[in-house]
Amino acid sequence: MPLITTNAALGSEHDHQCGSLLAELTLGSPIARDAALSLIRCPDEDLPELLAAARAAKERFKPGVATYSRKVFLPLTNLCRDYCGYCTFRRDPGDPGAHTMTPDEVLAVARAGEKLGCTEALFSLGDKPELLFSEMRETLRHLGYKSTLHYLEAMCELVLRETSLLPHPNPGLLSAEWIERLAAVSPSMGLMLETTNHALLRPGAAHDKAPDKVPAKRLRTIEEAGKRRVPFTTGLLIGIGETPEDRVDTLLAIRDLHDRYGHIQEVIVQNFRVKPAIPMAEWPEPSRGDMLRAVAVARLLLPGVNIQAPPNLNAPYYEELLDAGINDWGGISPLTPDYINPEKPWPHLEQLRLRTEAKGFQLRQRLPVYPEFVSAAMSRSGLLSEKLLAAVDPQGLARRSA
Ligand code: SF4
């Protein structure tokens, strides 16, 4: 597809440039880096115009609908070898709340979710905790597995075999071999790129003490998934110390991989929320305008990719995200809390439906794998294709739509 290019420069000329840039956007092509850099810094008075362009791009992509995935959240283990500055999820062994779920616990939550119409089992877990903690090695030995990834694979297979839920694992960095193995028991998987800014690894920054957050390593995992045509969810974090320019470059890195492999099923734009007792407790949160600009620019850089932003992190006015061009609300659980952001409850599904409809969109339940990627997932294994076939409707959405 041709790119819209401009010679827009950053600085005080923004006010005059955003309007003319937006006029060009009606062409509907993905915007180029220089245009994105100008738009992500556009002044507040240009925001309505930017949002209108993003919403129009969303409507060309998926008219009239917004989707969500009804899920259960399975925090398989909250032990993690990384120490990200914004994280409330992770624990060290012996910390209050440190826990690794047993197979019985996994199955109990999945079955309870099944009764509530859930179709996704989201596995979230710390990155390779056994490399740092002997306690985790002991837990895995007791459970009968060599590593956290071996245990995750078995739990995905258990949920797939015993319930109608489809697993979607988020286990951190993965080798090519582990992508293959997990893809046999889950139709899609995810890894947030978060940012391409290496400076966030410096002492005192958000990714100091987080060896798995090296951007090149995360890009490699996403690329390996692409080489294997595995439907993949990724995204960026807003407000962890990166600049607006970094946000554009992170989106461009994702776009580059998607252009090469076509496997990015979803890009999440997630805003940092401050919480007590995190190293970044005094950090400023991104503004509403920052978030709307980032979402709108994501839509315009990736006009043919599903863009998601979480409503619970954008309450109370989360429906504005629909104006900025998202077409998906992500996973919403009627059962389990958001263990990553436990102080921000998910909206009630009926509320979400009403607010989505008030913005002019029909709310539809999707599977963890998006409709355009169902056929890629179907070819992975007999058990997976059988379960997918039972779960999917003729439009590629959730058959038991609720
Ligand atoms: S954000 Fe993920 S990788 Fe970072 S500390 Fe938390 S669980 Fe670990």
Query: Do residue 80 and residue 143 come from a single domain?
Result: yes
**Structural domain count of the chain:** 2
**246 falls within a domain:** yes
Q: Are residues 170 and 30 in the same domain?
A: no
Picking from 38, 60, 82, the residue at the C-terminal end of a domain is 60
DSSP designation for 27: G
- Determine the Cα–Cα distance for residues 76 and 186; give it in Å rounded to an integer: 15
Query: Do 136 and 42 share a structural domain?
Result: no
Atom of ligand 1 nearest to the CA of 83: 5
The reply to whether 34 and 136 lie within a common domain is: no
The pLDDT value recorded for residue 287 is: 94
**Residue bearing the CA closest to ligand 1, atom 7:** 126
Same domain, 52 and 116: no
Q: In angstroms, rounded to a whole number, what is the distance separating the alpha carbons of residues 172 and 182? A: 12
Which pLDDT score is estimated for 11? 43
Determine if ligand 1 sits within 6 Å of the CB of residue 200: no
Is the shortest distance between the CB of 127 and ligand 1 below 6 Å?
Answer: yes
Q: Say if ligand 1 is within 6 A of residue 194 CB.
A: no
Q: Are residues 226 and 244 in the same domain?
A: yes
The verdict on 50 and 182 lying in the same domain is no
What does DSSP assign to residue 129?
G
The pTM is what?
A: 0.94
Considering the domain boundaries, does residue 175 fall inside one?
yes
- Cα atoms in the 13 Å half-sphere on the side-chain side of 228: 25
Q: Is residue 203 included in any domain, yes or no?
A: yes
Question: Is 300 found in the same domain as 161?
Answer: yes
Short-list 310, 205, 227, CA closest to 267: 310
Going from the Cα of 210 to the center of ligand 1, the distance in angstroms, rounded, reads 8
What is the residue range of 151's domain? Answer: 61-391
7 domain-assigned? no
Residues forming a β-bridge with 72: 121
Which pLDDT value is given to residue 19?
76
For residue 401, what pLDDT is reported?
A: 54
Q: Which helix (H) or strand (E) holds 298?
A: helix 288-301
Q: What is the CATH number of the domain that holds 248?
A: 3.20.20.70
Contact 17, 225 (CB under 8 A): no
Q: Do residue 117 and residue 32 come from a single domain?
A: no
User: Would you say residue 268 lies in a domain?
Assistant: yes
Mutating to test ligand 1, I would choose from 90, 91, 131, 201 the residue with most ligand atoms within 8 A of its C-beta, which is: 90
Strand partners for 68: 365
Q: Is residue 400 part of a domain?
A: no
In whole angstroms, give the CA distance from residue 85 to residue 74: 22
Domain shared by 36 and 170, yes or no: no
In a domain, 78, yes or no: yes
Residues 269 and 359 in one domain: yes
From the CB of 79, is ligand 1 less than 6 Å away?
no
Closest CA to 39 of 377, 365, 294, 381: 294
Q: Answer yes or no: is the C-beta of 84 below 6 A from any ligand 1 atom.
A: yes
Domain identity same for 49 and 106:
no
How many C-beta atoms lie closer than 10 Å to residue 89's C-beta?
18
Q: Is residue 296 part of a domain?
A: yes
List per-residue pLDDT tens for the chain, 402 residues long.
444 433 333 444 455 577 777 777 756 789 999 999 999 999 999 999 999 999 999 999 999 999 999 999 999 999 999 999 999 999 999 999 999 999 999 999 999 999 999 999 999 999 999 999 999 999 999 999 999 999 999 999 999 999 999 999 999 999 999 999 999 999 999 999 999 999 999 999 999 999 999 999 999 999 999 999 999 999 999 999 999 999 999 999 999 999 999 999 999 999 999 998 899 999 999 999 999 999 999 999 999 999 999 998 888 889 999 999 999 999 998 887 776 777 677 778 888 999 999 999 999 999 999 999 999 999 888 999 999 999 999 999 999 655
Q: Which of 45, 60, 75 delimits the end of a domain?
A: 60
